[in-house]
Amino acid sequence: DAGVIQSPRHEVTEMGQEVTLRCKPISGHDYLFWYRQTMMRGLELLIYFNNNVPIDDSGMPEDRFSAKMPNASFSTLKIQPSEPRDSAVYFCASSQRGATNEKLFFGSGTQLSVL
């Protein structure tokens, strides 16, 4: 299996622009998570899906953030409009409920810089 695939690896954009981060989870995994990592706040859960359905988006910081999972093999996290304080590493992770220890499999992350 190729693992969790995220794109792009790096994104540099200007304040006010729309940013779309993409994620392909591991085939067969029924949970998908979006995390944000910053020096100040560490790893924060933004939103997670179960069987493509958003379950808890209470970690999404503002209405500027939105996430979708149109099918089992694809998810997006969109920021519109972006702001400098959104600069962070965004991780997508997937897991399988009921699997041994239900550990998270992480993608390589997207390093987002908003200028």
Partner 1 sequence: AQKITQTQPGMFVQEKEAVTLDCTYDTSDQSYGLFWYKQPSSGEMIFLIYQGSYDEQNATEGRYSLNFQKARKSANLVISASQLGDSAMYFCAMREPLGRGNTFGTGTKLQVIP
Express the helix, strand and coil content of the chain in percent, nearest 5 each.
5, 55, 40
CB of 115 to partner 1, least distance (A): 20
**Interaction pattern, residues 23-62, with partner 1; x per rule: CB under 8 A:** --------x-x-x------xx-x--x-x----xx------
CB of 110 to partner 1, least distance (A): 10
Nearest to 1 by CA among 35, 33, 34, 24: 24
Q: Total residues at the site for partner 1 (CB under 8 A)?
A: 25
Read off the tokens for 98. Answer: 């009921």
Asked if 31 and 95 touch (Cβ cutoff 8 Å), the reply is yes
Q: Which of residues 56-115 bind partner 1 (CB under 8 A)?
A: 56, 89, 91, 93, 95, 97, 101-109, 111
